Amino acid sequence: MSERADRREAARSGTERAAILLLTLGENEAAQVLKHMGAKEVQRIGTAMAKLSSVSREEVHSVVSDFALTVESQTSVGIGADEFLRKVLVDALGQDKAASIIDRINIGRSTKGLEALKWMDARGVSELIRLEHPQIIAIVLAYLDPDQSAEVLAHLPANVRADIVARIATLDGVQPSALTELDDIMEKQFAGKAGGKTSVLGGPKAAANIINFLEPSQESALLEQIEKSDEALAARIQDLVFVFDNLIDLDDRGMQELLRQVPAEQLLLALKGTEDTLKEKIFKNMSQRAAEMLRDDLEAKGPVRLSEVEGAQKEILQTARKLAEAGTIALGGKGEEYV
């Protein structure tokens, strides 16, 4: 490898080297790799893939060598990367989720303000946006990942939360020019200063996904407030909220994978008061010995606070959603809207 190519390859970040590698693999193989990554990792690598414009063959060989792989001599990188990226993301994540990530990648090519919010703690984001108009706050939260949005929402005044979630649920896309303007506002705030296709942001699914990450008490209170002002909207959101009983729709492989990730004490708490059909589904996907031990523990377990049971169920649901985001399991029932 030439000294020039060596310097260029050394300057590449790990994310950029991963992007180069994926571009050498082909669409199907790259999609299989991306299925095992979380949404944030996919977005970071996707952004790097979209930004690659010229990569020398020497650099490609160096990257592939580092990963102990072989690349064909005719591999071409940097040509048609946008179309390649679109096909790979759609294959790996589905049309809706891929469209959302591609929108973010395209926005991120020339803007930094909104993207920078993803790297801030929830309290910092809430302080930055709390005085903005509720519609602006709704767009910002729709742009962020749902788990972060839920944390930010929890730091906002209780009397505005329902209004903001309702606005997220009724968002029907955002014009790129409006997003660019909002991005500029955020960028100026960081610095201490105060028509076409719409971007895929907002909607009932986005609102439900954020609600999924709230504490059970906050979730119930929020939906009750929304129902008071718009019963139909509250019903649409509720239909998309993935609840613990929906885990019965997991296939056996998915249930087994989930159970491998759940601590025994957490599962024990979550099953207190659960419908027998779901319990049997879980017992069925455990070893006979483990199932018998769990049955015995459930019988011996005394009364448990409802808040503890709901908390354990919420943690298991969060684990399930993370596995679904990574493509490890497929959530069924209402939750299939998030896969």
Alpha carbons 119 and 133: distance in angstroms, whole number: 22
CA atoms within 13 Å, Cβ hemisphere of 9: 20
Closest by Cα among 291, 304, 312 to 247: 312
- What are the residue ranges in the chain where pLDDT is below 50? 1-2, 4-5, 7, 9, 68-79, 109-111, 193-198, 333-339
Task: Give the model's pLDDT for residue 64.
Answer: 64
3-state secondary structure 109-164: HHCCHHHHHCCCCHHHHHHHHCCCCHHHHHHHHHHCCHHHHHHHHHHCCHHHHHHH
Helix, strand, or coil (residue 49): helix
Closest by Cα among 171, 204, 226 to 334: 204
Say which residue the tokens 């377990």 belong to.
301
Burial classification of residue 110, based on how many CB atoms lie within 10 Å of its CB (0-12 exposed, 13-18 middle, 19 or more buried): exposed
| φ, ψ at 36 (rounded to 5°) | -95, 10
Helix, strand, or coil (residue 199): strand
Closest by Cα among 219, 270, 240 to 261: 270
CA atoms within 13 Å, Cβ hemisphere of 100: 21
CATH T-level fold of 245-338? Annexin V; domain 1 (1.10.220)
Q: Is 25:45 a contact under the CB 8 Å cutoff?
A: no
Spelled out in words, what is the top-level CATH class assigned to the domain 113-240?
A: mainly alpha
The CATH number of the structural domain formed by 3-109 is 1.10.220
Task: Give the model's pLDDT for residue 129.
Answer: 86
Domains 113-240 and 245-338 share a fold: yes
Task: Give the model's pLDDT for residue 332.
Answer: 54
135 CB-near residues (< 8 Å, 6+ apart): 167
Q: Is 169:150 a contact under the CB 8 Å cutoff?
A: no
Alpha carbons 31 and 27: distance in angstroms, whole number: 6
Locate the domains of the chain by residue range.
3-109, 113-240, 245-338
Residue 174, beta-bridge partner list: 199
* % pLDDT > 70, the chain: 72
The two tokens of residue 96 are 């809706």
Q: Is 249:333 a contact under the CB 8 Å cutoff?
A: yes
The two tokens of residue 192 are 């201490």
Element (H, E) at 314: helix 306-325
The two tokens of residue 189 are 């705030």
The two tokens of residue 115 are 């993207």
pLDDT digits (tens, 9 = 90+) for 211-229: 877 776 777 788 888 888 8
Q: What is the DSSP string of 61-116?
A: HHHHHHTT----TT---SSSHHHHHHHHHHHHH-HHHHHHHHHHHHHHHH--HHHH
Burial classification of residue 91, based on how many CB atoms lie within 10 Å of its CB (0-12 exposed, 13-18 middle, 19 or more buried): middle
263 CB-near residues (< 8 Å, 6+ apart): none
